Amino acid sequence: MALSVREYRARIKSTESMKKITRAMELIAASRIIKAQQRAQAAAPYARELTRAVSAVATYSNVDHALTVEPEDPKKAAVLIVTSDRGLAGAYSSSVIKEAERLVEKLKGEGKEVDLYTSGRKGEAYFKFRQREVVQAWTGFSDQPTYDVAAEIGATLIATFLADAEDSDSDVRDVDEVHVVYTRFRSMLSQEPTAVRLLPLEVVEGTEAPDKADLLPLYEFEPSPSEVLDSLLPRYVQSRIFFALLQAAASELAARQKAMKAATDNADELIKKYKRIANQARQAGITQEISEIVGGVNALADAQAGSE
């Protein structure tokens, strides 16, 4: 029985050590999430105004740009999946991967081939384990993304989208659509996996286009609408990707804080349980020892009485 008590004491000690780790990770995530929220909020006005500008040029000019023209018969799509680099964030990465799988099945059901791009080690590892090709992966920045990374991702996806569009001998593009799957940060308790079509241009700020009378006085297209689109659209794509990365970073930290808090609470419950069982085992051992002593005394007294 004493051996069992020692085992429970060892479990209590190891659980207390694990609790310290999960508590520290919870506090780290809590300290970082405020900054992540502030970065996402700070990026929102720029993304919103850039969307308004692009919407104005794309909607109220007669320019057909390669990034805005809808293909007649799309055959291939690229999907960028934004996951985390590290685990211990609950169902954060698995939720966005499930949303991506639903999108892939939908695109394949429409007769389109799908090229996969990933941001974060979890997404890359998921598809690699299943022996599914990932065209390109970006890792090492999931909880602290930078605009340089977003610009690199955006440039890669735009180049893929326009791979054959500039070829005068062919009207077939290598990729006809570009989609992004990420986790939208709603609140500390709610993060929503979201799929957005990025290219051809799909304005995602609001459900209705701004009124023409509101837009035309605000913008003058110089030197020409075509050149304005050439300059704005790559920035628009990069800003949307950067905004998605910032939203995903805030969501990852919120999910990690929630997961680590749950782990800390579970550790507390385990410690209480082990202490209770250890006390019961110790009391049972003491009771058994007392019973053995009393039994021995009685046996000794009976033996003495019999000898007399």
Q: Choose from 41-45, 53-57, 227-231, 280-284 the range with maximum mean pLDDT.
A: 41-45
Contact criterion met (CB below 8 Å) for 150 and 241: yes
Examine the pLDDT at 58 and tell me if it is beyond 90.
no
What Cα–Cα distance (Å) separates residue 254 from each residue in 32, 88, 180? 9, 11, 21
* Predicted TM-score of the model (pTM): 0.79
Q: Residue by residue, what is the 3-state secondary structure of 170-198?
A: CCCCCCCEEEEEEEEEEECCEEEEEEEEE
pLDDT band at 221 (very low <50, low <70, confident <90, very high): low
Q: Is the dihedral of CA 195, 201, 202, 204 positive or negative?
A: positive
Residue 215: the pLDDT is 45
Helix (H), strand (E) at residue 269: helix 225-307
Residue 211: the pLDDT is 52
- Average the pLDDT over 127-141 and give the result: 93
Mean pLDDT of all residues belonging to the chain: 82
Examine the pLDDT at 289 and tell me if it is beyond 90.
no
Examine the pLDDT at 20 and tell me if it is beyond 80.
yes
Q: For 21-30, how does the pLDDT look when each residue is reduced to its tens digit (9 = 90+)?
A: 999 998 998 8
Rg (CA), the chain: 31
Q: For 268-285, how does the pLDDT look when each residue is reduced to its tens digit (9 = 90+)?
A: 999 998 888 888 877 877
Number of H helices, E strands in the chain: 6, 5
Q: ∠252-255-261 over CA atoms, to 5°? A: 140
Which strands, in side-by-side order, build the sheet including 113-119?
A: 136-138, 113-119, 76-82, 177-187, 190-199
Residue 70: the pLDDT is 77
- Average the pLDDT over 182-200 and give the result: 89
Q: What tokens does 171 get?
A: 């009207």
Examine the pLDDT at 241 and tell me if it is beyond 70.
yes
What Cα–Cα distance (Å) separates residue 304 from each residue in 135, 290, 295, 298, 299? 91, 21, 14, 10, 9
**Coil, strand or helix at 265:** helix
Residue-by-residue DSSP string for 84-121: -SS--STTHHHHHHHHHHHHHHHHHHTT-EEEEEEESH
Q: For 243-267, how does the pLDDT look when each residue is reduced to its tens digit (9 = 90+)?
A: 999 999 999 999 999 999 999 999 9
- Average the pLDDT over 33-39 and give the result: 86
Torsion angle, alpha carbons of 117, 119, 120, 125, to 10:
0
Q: Return the higher-pLDDT residue of 245 and 303.
A: 245
Integer Cα distance of 277 and 274 in angstroms: 5
- Average the pLDDT over 44-55 and give the result: 79
**Coil, strand or helix at 82:** strand
Burial 200-209 (b: 16+ CB within 10 A, else e): bbebeeeeee
